[in-house]
Amino acid sequence: MECVLEVKGLTKLYKNGRGVKNISFQVEKGDVLGLLGPNGSGKTTIMKVISGLCRKDSGEIKIFEKDAEENFEECMRKIGCLIEAPSIYGYLSAYKNLSMMSRFYDSVGKTEIEKLLETVRLSQYKNDKAGRFSLGMKQRLGLAMALLSEPELIILDEPANGLDIEGMIEIREIITKLAAERGITFLVSSHLANEIEKTCNKVAVIYEGELVSFATMQEALELNPALEDYFLSTVKEKRGNIII
């Protein structure tokens, strides 16, 4: 299997001492890897470092077997990201937001933008200013911006944030469909075990800035009735180690 993303010994510590320490994992083509962990565990930090928003202290990140820092532009051409709240220019329309971003890609034109707006159900609001959108609409526009370049790797940080039940199911369906039909690889983070369980085929548990476990969904659910139980058992193990 082709390795899409390789993180080796990644360490990023903030001034307050929080961050992530010695994180290593691999994501293969077509995988939907879920980063599961409580708030503040370091999921977003990992994603920010991978996407170049934060500078790492040490470690190595390879995207399609190329160093992400040295080949930044080349790597980012193959990646779509939605990290934390979607970054949208509120004073521009949804269409203008997307058309501005499309300038960086040769293959994206008006037709692709229109199609994408339809996919995220924003076609009828395409000329409205994005600042007036509801949280869910902004999230959908953010998702459209991540999908814009038809990326081979998509990084989604809490993609269901602010979405209603229908919206959450839609996002889940989009991820599953893209992974199955186009072989797009996903790195998704969430603090909701149920969400990860339904969306991903692999799971990495992040706890207090460390990678506690990495397993396929099948392995995780072998001895546990739900991913929630798997999470609790691995975290308990980790806590036990600390006490010892």
Partner 1 sequence: MKTLCASYRNELDKLFVNKKYTVFLVIGILICMGKIGVLWAVGAVSKGTVNLKISNLALEMLPFFAEVLVPLVVFMAATDLMCTEIQDNTMKAMLLRPVSRFKLLISKTLAAFTVGAVNFIVILIACTVLEAIFGDASKLWGYVGNNAAAYLIDLIPLFVLVLMAMLVNLISKSSTLAMFLCFLIYAVMKYCNYFVIWAGSALFTSYSQWHKLWIGTAIPFSAMSSKIFLLIGSAIVFFTAAYYLFDKRDF
Which stretches of the chain bind partner 1, using CB under 8 A? 14, 48, 51-55, 72-74, 76-77, 79, 81, 83-85, 87-89, 91-92, 96-97, 100-101, 103-105, 145
Give me the least distance between CB of 6 and partner 1, in Å please.
Answer: 20
Q: What are phi and psi of 83, to 5 degrees?
A: -120, 130
The span from the CA of 72 to the CA of 75, in Å, is: 5
Give me the least distance between CB of 156 and partner 1, in Å please.
Answer: 12
Q: At what angle do helices 135-147 and 94-102 cross, to 10 degrees?
A: 20
Closer of 79 and 171 to partner 1 (Cβ): 79
Closer of 54 and 215 to partner 1 (Cβ): 54
Give me the least distance between CB of 42 and partner 1, in Å please.
Answer: 14
Closer of 29 and 96 to partner 1 (Cβ): 96
Give me the least distance between CB of 169 and partner 1, in Å please.
Answer: 26
Q: What is the dihedral of CA 163, 168, 170, 172, to 10 degrees?
A: 140
Burial class of residue 225 (count of CB atoms within 10 Å of its CB; 0-12, 13-18, 19+): exposed
Q: What is the sign of the dihedral through the CA atoms of 60, 65, 66 and 72?
A: negative
Give me the least distance between CB of 94 and partner 1, in Å please.
Answer: 13
Q: What is the sign of the dihedral through the CA atoms of 189, 195, 199 and 203?
A: positive
Closer of 91 and 222 to partner 1 (Cβ): 91
Closer of 76 and 221 to partner 1 (Cβ): 76
Which of 110, 116, 112, 5 is closest to 60 using CA atoms? 5
Query: How many of the other CB atoms lie within 10 Å of CB of 241?
Result: 9
The span from the CA of 95 to the CA of 152, in Å, is: 23
81: its two tokens: 């990201």
Give me the least distance between CB of 164 and partner 1, in Å please.
Answer: 23
Output DSSP code: residue 23. Answer: E
Give me the least distance between CB of 62 and partner 1, in Å please.
Answer: 17
Closer of 32 and 83 to partner 1 (Cβ): 83
Closer of 55 and 218 to partner 1 (Cβ): 55
